[in-house]
A = this chain, B = another copy of it.
Amino acid sequence: MTNLLHPLPDASRGEVFENLLTRPGCRIERIVSLGQVTPPERPYVQPHDEWVLVLAGRAVVEAEGAATALSPGDWLLIPAGAAHRVTFTDPDAPTVWLAVHFG
């Protein structure tokens, strides 16, 4: 894959996670969502910082009690240990995320 926006995998049956590159201390991943959200009872909690950028689509992330609406170009740093949830992704068009995982 050399373009992150097309072609896109079909995410209608579940989010699609693809590793782009892994280096010591750093992993780059593309995620494609289509309406999926994080179950309220199972928030993500990671032992490392994560930087996420929305490349296409629309989403809302709730982290540390604050909800942030994300559109293309918007980025967010999710600190290590912070419980966070994706509470919305557009059900009608793919949301494409770039995630950089540290540590």
Residue A5 lies at the interface, judged by CB distance under 8 Å to chain B = yes
Interface size on A, residues (CB 8 A): 27
CB under 8 Å from chain B, chain A span 38-57: 49, 51, 53, 55
Q: How many copies does the complex hold?
A: 2
Q: How many angstroms from the CA of A26 to the CA of B49 in the assembled complex?
A: 12
Q: Enumerate chain A interface residues (CB-CB to B < 8 A).
A: 2-6, 20-21, 23-26, 28, 49, 51, 53, 55, 71-77, 98, 100, 102-103
Q: Are B53 and A4 in contact (CB under 8 A)?
A: yes
Q: Is the CB of A5 within 8 A of B49?
A: no
Assess A74 versus B24: contact at CB under 8 Å? Given A55-B55, A100-B100: no
